[in-house]
Chains A and B, each alone.
Chain A
């Protein structure tokens, strides 16, 4: 059971997801050792290709790859707002010539990682493409959720905020539903897609959503800068309607609801400062688990850059 590429969650079977989540745990165990590195990918080359700036995800992948002893190179690409497909194709030709084994790609346009994956023998990992998918984020979210709820089926997860532009919301919702978790979305009508899966409940009212009594709340990052035609009048109004304010946080803490966030957090917008010290705030755990989940992915994928088969050994 293996694949060349990890491009989305949609195409993964439930067993594959569960396998990856199970495998993240032994990788996380390694972090307690004095030597955190293992030689599994010794001699393999990993190339990161980030067309969109992201310190966190990039570092997480780098740490994961280095802990597996792979050689990591950051390929400098223009992080401009528009990348033409032709220039991506030229870049791929260059990468192919470099005989890299794994390519980790982030792009602001949906479908670019797939186009790359089709054109190369290397394993391609989608580190986020447009509003399409962010599969490793979904895996680390699933891993974190399972650490808290070892039997996730039937638990309830509420995602809050900009669902429309969020690849995290798409991939994490898909993964959670494959694990049997009930998923709901909360946000203004302009940020909650009408055409999402009908099994996902859609709320526009905060109190209504809380009456649904979610086991965990997943706050998405609000990005004002993305809005050419505004999706809501002001951050202040957004926070008033959907932010976890101090008053709302008290009720959340009373109910013992867990809080997740993909980072980076906009303090005072999606959540108030107090949340960060909350015992059931999983945000730091998500970051640590991100490395383990990404190691599990790198260890699982098999590039076609291969070597000859050895005879069967005992």
Chain B
């Protein structure tokens, strides 16, 4: 690509909510100039950014791309295209594929597929235990040698506390961290929905919030005792959020993420067994929504991650108990967070950039992609006046199991640029 000049966009950063209006010149994949009124020299590709926001591109640390093993739901190819479609230019895969990503060989396989099929960087986490079975430790060193930073049995907790403690002691000093899906299985029932008004009404045994909170506390205590770094995934409840807040005050080395669906939806949305609102941890109550938002603003949640979990229409059309947990999120996160929060003044662009671009990259030991002179081009151009309809045609994911299906929201991602390449232009 020749040089690229974006005129008159307002530039978002994680540092403050005052958007700076300027022109941005990109040459050879690097931002060479940010100034008012840069002249468009001949041969430069000029994009009018008037009224639009130029933001660092997002990074999602909690992604299920299902490859290998369940390619009918998603592949690394379709999943990374979905990411680009949602303004996300880097992803961390969860290891619950089939077979699970629990060895250097599997990590290598993932990187080979990504090399071939993906236009954005793909990172993977690795299992804590072999086959995510919670019995023996996975091949940790081999995975770390290939650059794996996050160890997790996501989808499940490690039920055996002694095993988890040993893993933390073993790898705690290495350049990696643990990530926990928190759930005490004995309390979870069929893992279908929150224990509450809706589980009573629908006649399905619910999973109480304490199932998640007990495990969360357990894992942080173990990490704290062993000195390992720990990241708590997809926190869904108020007390879970407060548990993390308390441990952070205690000086524990813990970070945490919140998913857009736990902020935006609650158990009432399930209505009459709508499986597009079925995920694990389950949607809880309106009170939890409010507490999670507060936790996000206060910084209890370091990052936003979608837990993008594609499933085929057939699977989701089953009855509520049999339908699998999870919804897609990569393509809807930025627009839905803009629509529901930024556009309504709940929080500003700096929070979104911090929690969904800068912090996730820092957690993974990567450089951030701030829009500064000398920085690498890795950004999106967002039109706050635009609209996005999440139709089948719009979505690049193989699956469309999202409550936003066919809904129209405010805001539109018009451009995604990484380095020298325009990955998306609408």
Contact B200 A109 (CB under 8 A): no
How would residues 125 to 141 of chain A score, 1 for a CB under 8 Å from any chain B CB and 0 otherwise? 00001111100000000
Name the interface residues of B310-336: CB closer than 8 Å to any CB of A.
Answer: 314, 317-323
> Which segment, of A80-88, A95-103, A268-276, faces chain B?
A80-88
Contact B318 A110 (CB under 8 A): no
> Which segment, of A14-22, A111-119, A285-293, faces chain B?
A111-119
Contact A132 B323 (CB under 8 A): no
Q: B204's contact among A84, A86, A118, A130, by CB below 8 Å, is which?
A: A130
Taken together as a complex, chains A and B put the C-alpha atoms of A25 and B201 apart, in Å, by 30
Taken together as a complex, chains A and B put the C-alpha atoms of A119 and B196 apart, in Å, by 29
Given known A111-B273, A114-B272, A114-B273, contact A86–B200 (CB-CB < 8 A): no
Does B199 make an interface contact (CB < 8 A)?
yes
Given known A111-B273, A195-B197, contact A85–B319 (CB-CB < 8 A): yes
Contact B322 A85 (CB under 8 A): yes
Residue in chain A with minimal CB distance to B200:
A195
Does A67 make an interface contact (CB < 8 A)?
no
How would residues 52 to 96 of chain A score, 1 for a CB under 8 Å from any chain B CB and 0 otherwise? 000000000000000000000000000000001110110000000
Does B203 make an interface contact (CB < 8 A)?
yes
The number of chain B residues with a CB under 8 A from chain A is 20
Residue in chain A with minimal CB distance to B273:
A111
Taken together as a complex, chains A and B put the C-alpha atoms of A229 and B245 apart, in Å, by 33
- Chain B residues with CB under 8 Å of A129's CB are 203
Taken together as a complex, chains A and B put the C-alpha atoms of A167 and B203 apart, in Å, by 7
- Chain B residues with CB under 8 Å of A131's CB are 203-205
Given known A109-B321, A111-B320, contact A10–B273 (CB-CB < 8 A): no
Residue in chain A with minimal CB distance to B318:
A85
Taken together as a complex, chains A and B put the C-alpha atoms of A309 and B99 apart, in Å, by 57
A10-B201, A130-B321 given; 5 more Cβ-contact pairs under 8 Å: A88-B322, A110-B204, A111-B321, A170-B201, A196-B200
Residues on A lying within 8 angstroms of B by beta carbon are 10-11, 84-86, 88-89, 109-112, 114-115, 118-119, 129-133, 167, 170, 193, 195-196
29 A-B pairs with C-beta separation under 8 A: A85-B319, A85-B322, A88-B318, A88-B322, A89-B318, A109-B321, A109-B322, A110-B202, A110-B319, A110-B321, A111-B319, A114-B272, A114-B273, A115-B273, A115-B317, A115-B318, A115-B319, A129-B203, A132-B203, A132-B204, A167-B203, A170-B201, A170-B203, A193-B200, A195-B195, A195-B196, A195-B197, A195-B200, A196-B200
